[in-house]
Chains A and B, each alone.
Chain A
């Protein structure tokens, strides 16, 4: 019983209407779209071997693209499309969240529907299609009165498979801005909140099972020509949609949306910003777990109103500069570049979350390594681990060049596991983050960078174009600027990495506000 007495279960439950509702809407919309596209295509392809091969080939290829990548690909695609429709037809649409998620998931649903519909139709006894012709049916009548009803069980099996896939894969739509049950999983993984991870998985599985059973009921009803069962199944699906629409309607749409990327520090900062706004009477919600390539565009498009980014990340990733500038100069340059795009750089928070080469303190002292320059001599016999993007970033090339670094091996790792890996000696050095609380926890040393090869990564607050002149928003955020120093942020991050009730982003954000508010 103690397992469920953890207050995080209650917190998870509080999010359920929002997350589940969004999950249901995006999944069912995707499934419906997938069916609207796939069914006619499959029917068209049943007597056309070339089209059939092309369709099944295409759908199979789509299936081999990992779900996360497919979802992520739709975001830039739709941004371009939105820009085109704006310049050609004078309107644009949000390329964020719902739309890319629905499109990607619909594509994902196509293979089982196409394959089973084609198989089902070609499995109809030719004697029966002959009989259909013989009694005077047109080709269309034969299709709708004989072939489709007979193929129905096989088709429904495909539709049910598609439904389960879509509901499962929809958990991956969180990073492109679509709230889903994946929010539990992403947030849980980032903040080591296993209660959330388990809750998210269980909820997604339960939803998949429920929809599968409702579809089975409809199929059963259609097969046995039982209107009651068909109606019950249909009513179940409709009730599911209706139940999830009610809270969405009731929610005010005109609040502020605070964005956060996919790591714990961002969750905490977003929670802190939302708490400050709400404290000032500005209704705010958070949209956490956004991919780092998605979040800036989402701000530019006004899908989120405010978020925290890092100067070096913007400089290198967003504006594709490869040179390393001194801190003040970089911030000034960024300010003017952002202003041209109508984005407000409101100010710095007071700490930097830069990349840094990190190793266990004790080992560094034994080997006499204090700086990256000291490390260069030892590096050829050492291994290094970094996050998924570090080794392809320009500063890595810069560091290697400036210090003549060359490691025996380099590995990519989930950031949360890096620190433990270096502490246990599994790797010798990691490219970690200066604000990470685990540095203190594992007693690690951050190596100095005397040649300034690593660009500065000051945490800065950005406002969307439409919030440029929002003085209430600016006033509410002002108390956060310049107040969070590296020690406070590290401690906050360490707390967020804990695995108990006080480690939720909201709780840590409250703690952080207490700490900086008292100064």
Chain B
């Protein structure tokens, strides 16, 4: 089992509004253990639905979703969600709870002893590079956008999940913060041996962070592969998505020449 894919979608379909809106159309996709997969697509492409099928925030109509080899339909959705980390768009932090309480929420739901939760919260604050004494008792409204998202990441990691799902985690941040946070998370992913699925509409971000990129459009999976594999795709939509990062890279290369390029 441990050598099979950690998350596997097999011919999965999902419609909304009594079948009028096809969100996910016959998608087959595997995520290997330790892999960082980015799912890229525009709004309405079905990428968020696909992500939520993995922890049963949304139930599939057809096909099969397995997590760690088990069909998710056979797993209690509450327990499933507690063992999968989830980072929400712009944090999704509970505004009435302090940073520490937000981070410790899933361990608390799992019934960890208070002392153990407190120790874990401190450990996580350090992991996401926030000063524990300074931030533990603050309310989310007292944090910057980047700090909030760091807390969101810490919360997702609190119960030591093997899998982390991220829903456009860095979309609402300014470019510098976004870059730093992306790099920091990539490092955490490697260090903790996580399996990460991240949704983004930004192909550049996907290419820079992920091992593999899957492209969704109109509910269908158009292409998947490493950046190099993707650049060989003949699909016109994938071509179009790759066009911007390519052109930016060329122009930036010309605009910012460096002697003895690194």
Binding site for B on A (CB under 8 A): 127-128, 130-138, 141, 145-146, 149-150, 225
Q: A132-B94, A137-B78 are in contact. List 20 more A-B contacts (CB 8 A).
A: A130-B57, A131-B88, A133-B81, A134-B57, A134-B86, A134-B92, A135-B86, A135-B105, A135-B109, A136-B78, A136-B81, A136-B82, A136-B106, A136-B109, A138-B78, A141-B109, A145-B94, A146-B94, A150-B95, A150-B96
B118-133 CB contacts (< 8 Å) to partner A: none
A132 to B108, CA, bound (A): 13
B224 touches A (CB below 8 Å): no
Chain B hits for A127, CB < 8 A: 88-89, 92
A133 to B79, CA, bound (A): 11
B155 touches A (CB below 8 Å): yes
A130 to B57, CA, bound (A): 8
A489 to B79, CA, bound (A): 82
A145 to B92, CA, bound (A): 14
A366 to B89, CA, bound (A): 93
Interface of chain A, main secondary structure: helix
Chain B hits for A225, CB < 8 A: 96
CB distance from B72 to the nearest CB of A (A): 14
A320 to B55, CA, bound (A): 73
Chain B hits for A134, CB < 8 A: 55, 57, 81, 86, 88, 92
A225 to B98, CA, bound (A): 10
Complex partner residue of A130 from B78, B92, B95, B105, CB under 8 angstroms: B92
Given A135-B81, A136-B82, are A130 and B96 also a contact pair (CB < 8 Å)? no
* Contact assessment for A135 and B155 in the assembled complex, using a CB-CB cutoff below 8 Å: yes
- Nearest CB in chain A to that of B158: its residue: A135
Chain A hits for B81, CB < 8 A: 133-136
Given A127-B88, A130-B57, A130-B88, are A135 and B106 also a contact pair (CB < 8 Å)? yes
- Nearest CB in chain A to that of B89: its residue: A127
A134 to B159, CA, bound (A): 13
- Nearest CB in chain A to that of B56: its residue: A133
A421 to B105, CA, bound (A): 73
A127 to B152, CA, bound (A): 14
**Residue picked from A131, A133, A135, A150, most chain B C-beta under 10 Å:** A135
* Contact assessment for B92 and A128 in the assembled complex, using a CB-CB cutoff below 8 Å: yes
Binding site for A on B (CB under 8 A): 55, 57, 78-79, 81-82, 86, 88-89, 92-96, 105-106, 109-110, 155
Chain A hits for B82, CB < 8 A: 135-136
A-B pairs, 5 with minimum CB distance: A136-B82, A131-B92, A136-B81, A134-B86, A149-B96
CB distance from B82 to the nearest CB of A (A): 3
Chain B hits for A135, CB < 8 A: 81-82, 86, 105-106, 109, 155
A138 to B77, CA, bound (A): 9
CB distance from A125 to the nearest CB of B (A): 9
Chain A hits for B109, CB < 8 A: 135-137, 141
CB distance from B105 to the nearest CB of A (A): 5
- Nearest CB in chain B to that of A134: its residue: B86
A-B contacts, 20 listed (Cβ < 8 Å): A130-B57, A130-B88, A131-B93, A133-B81, A134-B55, A134-B57, A134-B81, A134-B86, A134-B92, A135-B82, A135-B105, A135-B106, A135-B155, A136-B79, A136-B109, A137-B105, A141-B109, A145-B94, A146-B94, A150-B95
A137 to B95, CA, bound (A): 16
**Residue picked from A127, A131, A136, A137, most chain B C-beta under 10 Å:** A136
**Residue picked from B93, B105, B110, B155, most chain A C-beta under 10 Å:** B105
A141 to B111, CA, bound (A): 13
A127 to B79, CA, bound (A): 21
Chain A hits for B106, CB < 8 A: 135-136
Given A138-B78, A149-B96, are A133 and B155 also a contact pair (CB < 8 Å)? no
Chain B hits for A150, CB < 8 A: 95-96
* Contact assessment for B57 and A133 in the assembled complex, using a CB-CB cutoff below 8 Å: yes
A127 to B57, CA, bound (A): 13
Chain B hits for A138, CB < 8 A: 78
A439 to B6, CA, bound (A): 99
A195 to B127, CA, bound (A): 72
A225 to B96, CA, bound (A): 9
A141 to B27, CA, bound (A): 33
Chain A hits for B96, CB < 8 A: 146, 149-150, 225
CB distance from A141 to the nearest CB of B (A): 7
Chain A hits for B89, CB < 8 A: 127
- Nearest CB in chain B to that of A138: its residue: B78
Chain B hits for A131, CB < 8 A: 88, 92-94
Chain A hits for B86, CB < 8 A: 134-135
Chain B hits for A146, CB < 8 A: 94, 96
Chain B hits for A137, CB < 8 A: 78, 105, 109
CB distance from A456 to the nearest CB of B (A): 71
A409 to B227, CA, bound (A): 96
- Nearest CB in chain A to that of B82: its residue: A136
Chain B hits for A130, CB < 8 A: 57, 88, 92
A110 to B93, CA, bound (A): 33
A131 to B165, CA, bound (A): 13
A132 to B79, CA, bound (A): 13
CB distance from B143 to the nearest CB of A (A): 16
CB distance from B87 to the nearest CB of A (A): 9
A133 to B109, CA, bound (A): 12
CB distance from B119 to the nearest CB of A (A): 19
CB distance from B214 to the nearest CB of A (A): 21
CB distance from B150 to the nearest CB of A (A): 16
Chain B hits for A132, CB < 8 A: 94
Chain A hits for B55, CB < 8 A: 134
Chain B hits for A149, CB < 8 A: 96
CB distance from B79 to the nearest CB of A (A): 8
CB distance from A150 to the nearest CB of B (A): 6
- Nearest CB in chain B to that of A131: its residue: B92
CB distance from B86 to the nearest CB of A (A): 4
CB distance from A156 to the nearest CB of B (A): 14
CB distance from A19 to the nearest CB of B (A): 41
A138 to B79, CA, bound (A): 10
A130 to B51, CA, bound (A): 14
A3 to B81, CA, bound (A): 72
Chain A hits for B78, CB < 8 A: 136-138
A130 to B155, CA, bound (A): 15
- Nearest CB in chain A to that of B102: its residue: A135
Chain A hits for B57, CB < 8 A: 130, 133-134
CB distance from B159 to the nearest CB of A (A): 8
A442 to B118, CA, bound (A): 84
CB distance from A242 to the nearest CB of B (A): 32
A149 to B102, CA, bound (A): 14
A244 to B89, CA, bound (A): 54
Chain B hits for A136, CB < 8 A: 78-79, 81-82, 106, 109-110
